[in-house]
Chains A and B, each alone.
Chain A
Amino acid sequence: MSGTTIQRDRRRRQAIFRWVVLGLALLYFLVPMVSLFDFSIRFPLTGNVDLDSWAALFGGDDSGRLDMLGEGLTNSLIMAVMTVVISLALLLPTMVLVKLKSPQFSRAVEFISLLPLTIPAVVLVVGLAPIYLVISTRILDSNTIWLAFAYVILVLPFVYRSLDAGLRAIDLKTLTETARSFGASWWTIMVRVIVPNVRTAIISAVFISVALVLGEFTFARMLARTNLQTALFQINLSDGQIAAAVSLIALGGTTILLVLLDLVVGLREAARRRPEEPLAAAAPAPTPTETSAS
């Protein structure tokens, strides 16, 4: 008697379903991006199609209309670096310390780190306004880049979750005790034992933080500073095509960033399965569960 295909038929139906749904979804997601591109090359009033706006972006522009954009981009990039450095320098040693020496603080640290998820940026900025007034006038100056201090708070939950997953996956206690028994100092332990083993978690935290800082709008707008997003907003009022082009570049950049992250995570997983690296950390999955569209 010839064979049966009941299970095979079901799997095929599933595959068709999958292709249709994901195909439609992809279409839905791509249409606005295609529109962005179309907008960037089509002058709205005359319908002329040209690459002027793109040329202006890459070829350099003397008219000064791109100055604000340049300023915003520079500020955002500097702040991204600052945020990453401060958040990691703040969280990693603290979390290691708490795990090893002060476990009674772990709930407090977790609660505070995840608190920004419950306090929207629009709310936080109301309370930050007077603080930044003091910072601008009496402690530092009104330079935009000091906004990074507040950005650290915004990225706190994501960096915490990433590092937490990474630290959980390694046997921190054994690693440090082994290193201590060989006479290593704490600095050495941190830099040469812990960091390499949570590399993937750190990379993940870095990528998410950068994406968040580059996309941040609320703080900058409410506190009247210039970053990439507020500059984009301004430029859109005078030159929508350039705004569209820059948005597309930012999108492309973030895509590459996140795809790279996914590949790196995938490679680390594969490496971990090889028997050569007995102390390698597990690769935690990146979970950007809140958007920065705040």
Chain B
Amino acid sequence: MTTQPLTGRDATASRPARRWLAHAGTLPFFAYTGVFLILPTLLVVVGAFRSREGAFTLNGLEQLLSPRTLTIFANSLVLSAVTAVVGAVLGALIAYALATAPSGSMGRRLFTAFCSVVAQFGGVMLAFAFIATFGINGLLTRLLQDWAGYTVNGQFLSTLPGVAVVYAYFQIPLMVIVFLPALDGLRVQWREATENLGGSTWTYWSRVAGPILAPSFLGSLLLLFANSFSAFATAAALISQQTLIVPMEIESALRNENDLGMDAYAQALALGMIVVVALVMWAYAALQKRAARWTA
């Protein structure tokens, strides 16, 4: 866009055109996201009801609601719920410990940076780390065998509980990062006012800090849930024999797209995931708004 001083006639004649020009500057963004974000999403939603010949079909939905697929969905939901709760509780505890340190302190900043790293630790590498710890030739496996005579089940990491243990590893730091700001938002005056008015530490936590933190805590928990539900790489690296969770089933469905009876299945699965995550994120946004109102 060039800068041109507007003269009287110029202004009136070209104003609508100039405004259009200004808006046109946003075109690249909308075009790009249109192709690479909106279009794929539409393809999923539409594709869930579209057979390979292009006709309308409910085959995808039927497959989605089959007992086997429902079990897989249940697995995903339970796994996400458990790791969300575990991550939320332990993460909140660690976040609280961090919050008691002054916010500028080097130790706290380093620990927070470290949490960022662990939270982003790619799924594949994380799986390797845990296999190196609890796998057949793992460090802890060996140590436990030598010192306590306890044999860790070699297949543990390929089971749902095993995957949950690995998920917890990145859920906890994620909780720390997401929840720490809420803890920092607790004003010292609220604690002192509670004491002043005769309240004990229990009073403070149960009637002041607890209720104030509740929306943020729940919101963060939901975020953890969505994060766990969407995760793929970790499970793919740990489990090789079966498809236990929805993302793995999607991969399998994509690979077998051209098989009989697999029309629209991958898309239906994807649609199911969108619905779950969208619900969770909507609830998260609502809770965040509530939390912001109070701690502002």
Tell whether any CB of A sits under 8 Å from a CB of B in the complex.
yes
A7-25 CB mask vs B (1 if < 8 Å, else 0) is 0000000110110011001
B98-128 CB mask vs A (1 if < 8 Å, else 0) is 1011000000011111101111111111101
Residues of chain A at interface, number, CB under 8 A? 94
Q: Report the minimum CB–CB distance from B97 to chain A (whole Å).
A: 4
Given contacts A153-B37, A217-B123, contact A254 B254 (CB under 8 A): no
Beta-carbon contacts under 8 Å, A117-134 to B: 117-131
Total cross-chain contacts (CB, 8 A):
281
Given contacts A38-B139, A101-B25, A115-B37, contact A286 B116 (CB under 8 A): yes
Given contacts A32-B129, A120-B273, contact A221 B177 (CB under 8 A): no
Q: Are B281 and A131 in touch, CB under 8 angstroms? A: no
Q: Are B44 and A123 in touch, CB under 8 angstroms? A: yes
A229: which of B23, B138, B169, B233 is its contact (CB, 8 Å)? B233
Given contacts A22-B94, A243-B128, contact A291 B2 (CB under 8 A): no
B9-31 CB mask vs A (1 if < 8 Å, else 0) is 00000000000001101101110
Given contacts A118-B277, A120-B230, A126-B44, contact A233 B237 (CB under 8 A): yes
Q: Are A288 and B123 in touch, CB under 8 angstroms? A: no
Given contacts A109-B29, A288-B116, A292-B120, contact A120 B229 (CB under 8 A): yes
B270: which of A122, A229, A240, A243 is its contact (CB, 8 Å)? A122
Q: Report the minimum CB–CB distance from B55 to chain A (whole Å).
A: 17
Given contacts A22-B97, A90-B32, A250-B122, contact A39 B26 (CB under 8 A): no
Q: Are A21 and B25 in touch, CB under 8 angstroms? A: no
A116 proximal to B (CB < 8 A): yes
Q: Are A229 and B124 in touch, CB under 8 angstroms? A: yes
B162-198 CB mask vs A (1 if < 8 Å, else 0) is 0000000110111001100000000000000000000
Give the docked Cα–Cα distance between A289 and B120 (Å): 9
B247: which of A15, A38, A120, A128 is its contact (CB, 8 Å)? A120
Given contacts A149-B36, A289-B223, contact A105 B230 (CB under 8 A): no
Q: Are B35 and A36 in touch, CB under 8 angstroms? A: no
B1 proximal to A (CB < 8 A): yes
A259 proximal to B (CB < 8 A): yes
CB-CB under 8 A from A266, the residues of chain B are: 109
CB-defined A-B contacts under 8 Å, sample of 24:
A18-B97, A22-B97, A35-B138, A39-B138, A44-B136, A94-B25, A101-B23, A101-B25, A120-B232, A123-B230, A127-B40, A127-B270, A130-B43, A215-B123, A218-B233, A222-B254, A229-B123, A287-B178, A289-B223, A290-B227, A293-B122, A293-B123, A293-B126, A294-B123
| A interface residues (Cβ-Cβ under 8 A, vs B) | 14-15, 17-18, 21-22, 25-26, 29, 31-36, 38-39, 42, 44, 90-91, 93-94, 97-98, 101-102, 105, 108-109, 112-113, 115-131, 149-150, 152-153, 156, 180, 183-186, 211-212, 214-218, 221-222, 229, 232-233, 236, 240, 243-244, 247, 250-251, 254-255, 258-259, 261-262, 266, 286-294
